[in-house]
Structure 1
Amino acid sequence: MEKIQSFFWYCSGADTETLKKCPTDSNKYIGIGATIFFTGLFAAFAAAYAFYTVFDQAFFAIALGLVWGLMIFNLDRYIVSGMRKSNRRFQEFKIALPRILLAVMISIVIAKPLELKIFEKEINAELSVMAQESYASQENAIRNQYTAPREALQSEIATLKEEITLKAAKRDELARIAQQEADGTGGTGQRSPGPIYKIKKADVDQVESELQALMTTNNQLIAQKQEALTALIQDEQHKVESLEEDSVDGPAARLESLDRLSAKSTAIWYANIFILLLFIVVETSPIIVKLISQKGPYDYELETTEYRFEAASYKDKAFLHHEIKKQSEELSAREKDFVKERLDIKLDQA
């Protein structure tokens, strides 16, 4: 039990020898030390999970997680141990404010990987949706590349066919008029074919000749364009079939997935906020405890110890200053004697 107590004292950043003289403050610093220890432990778990999602290697992730946890533990220990109690609460708060902000930042860093682990099932489902959306986006991008040339070929083919259709329609119309002229149902109304019928029949033959020539030319062009359109469609289909669904599973993708889930679900959004607030409370609790607690025996004893060292330092400085001044005065006296001796020698020589 004493070893556990000493360990949590160490975690709190308190001086164990001084704390032994103040048993009434023992439980307070045990609580502070335990909070700092478990915060570092949570940080190690969170970092190990985050590194595992990046490197996908358990040993490497555990090693880096331990290093990160120890760093957070040491930083928290330094933050709490650096605070000193005084009788001025506002001054204490001003000194503690940067430490509180730092603790909040650490809380956010620690909480986020654990949030990813807590909502892992929901995130995996959302990642599948994101992968499908990514695949669909790539497919649409490919199809959009082929839309304009495909529509252009289809339009050209339709135009060529329309030309043949219009020419055939004109031929049929002229043939109908010539036939009416021949049977007396139209034109001059005479039943036997006459010179007018021959003229109309000649028009039909001419248009028929033009139609055959147009069909020969256009059908060749239609075949070429149809072949090009088929090749274009096949190339498009080949590129679509060669697409592979991206593996969306990195930390950035998981953070984006969690953000999408929070936007979709109010419950998940509130859960994220509560988890973050929980870690902020845990991380800042040692600092808050030191701020709101009264100045105890440990603080007085620590202040006395530090003042004793400070007073001894001032005393050593004063003694050193006195010795330097004394040596300086002695040196000045020797210089005066030396100058006087040199003057006496010059007077004797004169």
Structure 2
Amino acid sequence: MNNLTQFFWFCSGANFSILKRTPTESNKYVGIGATVFFTGVLAALAAGYALFTVFQSLIPSIGFGLLWGLMIFNLDRFIVSSMRKKENAWAEWKLAIPRLVLAVLLALVISKPLELKMFEREINRKLDEKRTEFIAESKANLARGFPEIQALEAKIDTLKSEVSDAENFRDQVQQGYDAERFGEKTSGTSGIVGLGTNAKKKEEQLDAAQLALEQLRIRNQIRIDTIETQIREFMALRQAEFEKQQPGIEGFDGLAARMDALSILTTESSAMAMANVFIMLLFIAIETAPIFVKLISPRGPYDELLELHEDRVKLFKGEKWTIAKGESEARVGYFQETLFYATDLKKEKTNRKNRAETDRELANWD
């Protein structure tokens, strides 16, 4: 338990030696450190899932996810540890505002991948709908890109229509022949039962129509088979083009696609939009909790000792600066005095030399 406590102290960025002297502050910094730690864990999970949707590989996702989690953990630890409790509340808030802004931004970044995971089923359904739309659109575009298929299919319909017209003609001749045999009185029959002259003529017409129908069927079937072969060739080309586009459609499962699907879902469903907002607010609350704990908590003995330690460092720095400044001034003064003395001595020597030369010159004149 002691090791766990010290670990959470480390996560909170607190000073161990001061905390050991203030046991009443231990629980507060354990709570702050635990919040920072679990925020880093959530960030690692979120980044791992987001990167898995990009790389589709477990090992890189785990590696980059841990790296991202450690980076978020370090930022949160820095944000919390750099805050100081002051006597003036407004001064604390001025220092906390940029940290709160950074914490909110981190919360938004962390929450988005976890939102994608929470709404994974709904997002998958929306992605399936989008893939279906892409497939239909792709097929429609390919159909427009191969007008030869429609033209060949129209030729087949024309050939089949010719055979159908020949069959109808044959059926009409058959009906007239039957009416002549059975003595049905019509505008085209004699009304006499039996195989008379008119019946034989109609039979010849029927045989000719049947023969023409069979020849037409054979001829058109050969044409239809040839055209269908051409259609299959064009359809094979069209299928090849579709298969080239298929991986892109099937691979429509990236991070941007999922975020777009989530955006569409929140637009279509108010419940989804509300859940999305609540999840985002939850992560903002988690991320900003350590900062607010420090802001709303009263100034404790830990803060007093920490400020005392920092003030001692400032005083020690001031003392060292004063001593260093005095020593420097003393050295400068000594240097200046020594320099001035040497200058005066040199001047005196020069003056003596000049006076001696002047006396020699005067003596020579005399």
Alignment of 1:25-174 (within 5 A): 25-144=25-144
Query: Aligned partners of 1:85, 1:295: CA distance in 2, in Å?
Result: 6
Q: Which residue in the other structure is 1:328 paired with?
A: 332
Residues 25-44 of structure 1: CA deviation (Å, up to 9, x unaligned): 11111110000000001111
Q: Which residue in the other structure is 1:268 paired with?
A: 272
Q: Pick from 307, 312, 316: which aligns with 1:312?
A: 316
Q: Which residue in the other structure is 1:243 paired with?
A: 242
Alpha carbons 2:13, 2:80 under 8 Å: kept? yes
Q: Which residue in the other structure is 2:283 paired with?
A: 279
Query: Aligned partners of 1:78, 1:128: CA distance in 2, in Å?
Result: 43
What TM-score comes out, normalization by structure 1 length?
A: 0.73
Specify the SS of the correspondent of 1:243. helix
Q: Pick from 297, 300, 303: which aligns with 2:307?
A: 303
Q: Which residue in the other structure is 1:191 paired with?
A: none
Query: Aligned partners of 1:278, 1:44: CA distance in 2, in Å?
Result: 17
Query: Aligned partners of 1:235, 1:308: CA distance in 2, in Å?
Result: 88
Q: Which runs of 5+ in 2 are unaligned?
A: 155-225, 355-366
Alpha carbons 1:139, 1:240 under 8 Å: kept? no
Deviation at 1:243, TM superposition (A): 1.2
Query: Aligned partners of 2:84, 2:92: CA distance in 1, in Å?
Result: 8
Code of the residue aligned with 2:352 in structure 1: it is D
Query: Aligned partners of 2:81, 2:10: CA distance in 1, in Å?
Result: 10
Code of the residue aligned with 1:288 in structure 2: it is F
Query: Aligned partners of 1:108, 1:15: CA distance in 2, in Å?
Result: 30
Q: Which has the larger radius of gyration?
A: 2
Query: Aligned partners of 1:57, 1:234: CA distance in 2, in Å?
Result: 39
Q: Which runs of 5+ in 1 are unaligned?
A: 155-226
Deviation at 1:136, TM superposition (A): 2.3
Code of the residue aligned with 1:302 in structure 2: it is L
Query: Aligned partners of 1:236, 1:118: CA distance in 2, in Å?
Result: 42
Residues 187-246 of structure 1: CA deviation (Å, up to 9, x unaligned): xxxxxxxxxxxxxxxxxxxxxxxxxxxxxxxxxxxxxxxx99x97997588436631431
Deviation at 1:51, TM superposition (A): 1.2
Deviation at 1:138, TM superposition (A): 2.7
Residues 282-337 of structure 1: CA deviation (Å, up to 9, x unaligned): 00000011111111111111000000001100110111011111100100001111
What TM-score comes out, normalization by structure 2 length?
A: 0.70
Q: Which residue in the other structure is 1:341 paired with?
A: 345
Q: Which residue in the other structure is 1:169 paired with?
A: none
Alpha carbons 1:39, 1:282 under 8 Å: kept? yes
RMSD: 2.4
Deviation at 1:76, TM superposition (A): 0.2
Alpha carbons 1:48, 1:62 under 8 Å: kept? yes
Residues 118-147 of structure 1: CA deviation (Å, up to 9, x unaligned): 111111111111111222233333445567
Specify the SS of the correspondent of 2:242. coil
Specify the SS of the correspondent of 2:83. coil
Q: Which residue in the other structure is 2:7 paired with?
A: 7
Residues 104-128 of structure 1: CA deviation (Å, up to 9, x unaligned): 1111111111111111111111111
Aligned length: 276
Query: Aligned partners of 2:96, 2:319: CA distance in 1, in Å?
Result: 31
Residues 30-69 of structure 1: CA deviation (Å, up to 9, x unaligned): 1100000000011111111111111111111111111111
Alpha carbons 1:51, 1:61 under 8 Å: kept? yes
The range that moved more, 74-83 or 133-142, is 133-142
Q: Does 1:257 align with 2:299?
A: no
Query: Aligned partners of 1:122, 1:326: CA distance in 2, in Å?
Result: 80
Code of the residue aligned with 2:45 in structure 1: it is F
Specify the SS of the correspondent of 1:307. helix
Code of the residue aligned with 2:321 in structure 1: it is K
